[in-house]
Amino acid sequence: MIVSLDYVYLLVGVLLAIVAVMSVRDKANPRRFTTAAFWGLYALVYLLGERIPPLAGGVLMIAMALIAGFGWVRAGRHDALPDAQRQASAARLGHKLLIPALAVPAVTVIGSTLLKDVKIGELFVLDPKNLTLAALGVGAVVALALACRLTRSTPMQGVRELRRLLDAIGWALVLPHFLAVLGLLFTEAGVSKAVAHVVTSYVNMDLRFVAVAVYCVGMALFTIVMGNGFAAFPVMAGGVGIPVLVGIYHANPAIMAAIGMFSAYCGTLMTPMAATFNIVPVALLELPDRHAVIRAQLPTALPLLVANIFLLYFLMDR
């Protein structure tokens, strides 16, 4: 293939390594060495990937967690343009500033749909096994090129902006990656069996509506705790969805899974653990209320969760 997902990961690793070097050179940051170590270790994850032995990978993750947990990841100093110059540039470009941002989803959709089986010679243009992610990587590169063209800046300025954004987000950037594996860990630890035991012991599951409500609300609650619907799904599906809804009430597994994930997404709207959706925007927009996004989403999340319960109840045996 011409564009492999491995190339995208290598590019991300190189960018993180550059950010680590820039951080260690920032003498205005009182935690510059630990901040650089955090981003440097994160860069190794992308640069080495599956070549890292499992034990070494676990030690690396623990080291990153300790650095972040002790508050040793700090924002550095950034050379920003004067407000007058920034406003003049924004006025000159106007809505053209949206072009790079819109290029990312546009290129991703085009690449994942129109370039699915396209080859040049014997090589696929995009990685067929990871088509969407490979197209997303291409979209990001295209967006950077367009941004440099519009603003008359260099790619290095893009790296400086990357560091500024990483400093604004901080360690929360890696939280989704940690949370994504929690579902597997919980399943291996027997949490699904424990959930099934507790639910069947203390809740009357003889009523189909109660079983549906427990499953949907449980999906939302576990997502609130873990911050990731994919982590919550194996726990609730293994504890309630499969043994009760499918095994006893003969629910359609596809409908059970789909509406269950929709219920989990309701939990995503209500938790700070979903850092990518609820904490990162607050940091980027510099909002005074850290939970502003969550407060705005609550009126949508709660009624939608109730709607999912009724949808699953009436559609589960279709």
> In the beta sheet, which residues pair with residue 119?
124
Which amino acid, 19?
V
Does residue 1 surpass a pLDDT of 70? no
Backbone angles phi, psi at 122, to 5 degrees: -100, 0
Asked if pLDDT for residue 24 goes beyond 70, the answer is yes
Residue 130's pLDDT is 86
What is the tens place of the pLDDT at every residue in 241-282? 999 999 999 999 999 999 999 999 999 999 987 777 887 788
Q: What pLDDT, on the 0 to 100 scale, is given for residue 122?
A: 82
DSSP code for 82? P
Average pLDDT of the chain?
87
Share of the chain above pLDDT 90, in %: 40
Residue of 8, 15, 295, 14 lying closest to 166 (CA atoms): 15
User: pLDDT by residue (tens digit) across 43-88?
Assistant: 999 999 888 898 888 899 889 989 988 889 988 887 766 777 777 7
Residues 142-154 have a mean pLDDT of 90
215 pLDDT band (50/70/90 cuts)?
Answer: very high
**Whole-number percent of the chain with pLDDT over 70:** 96
Burial of 299 (0-12, 13-18, 19+ CB in 10 A): exposed
Q: Please indicate whether residue 233 or residue 196 has the higher confidence score (pLDDT).
A: 233
For 124, the 3-state DSSP assignment is: strand
pLDDT at 80: 67
pLDDT, residue 20, reads 95
> Which are the contacts of 123, defined by CB distance < 8 A and separation ≥ 6?
1, 2
Q: What are 2-13's pLDDT values in tens digits?
A: 788 889 999 999
Q: Model pTM?
A: 0.72
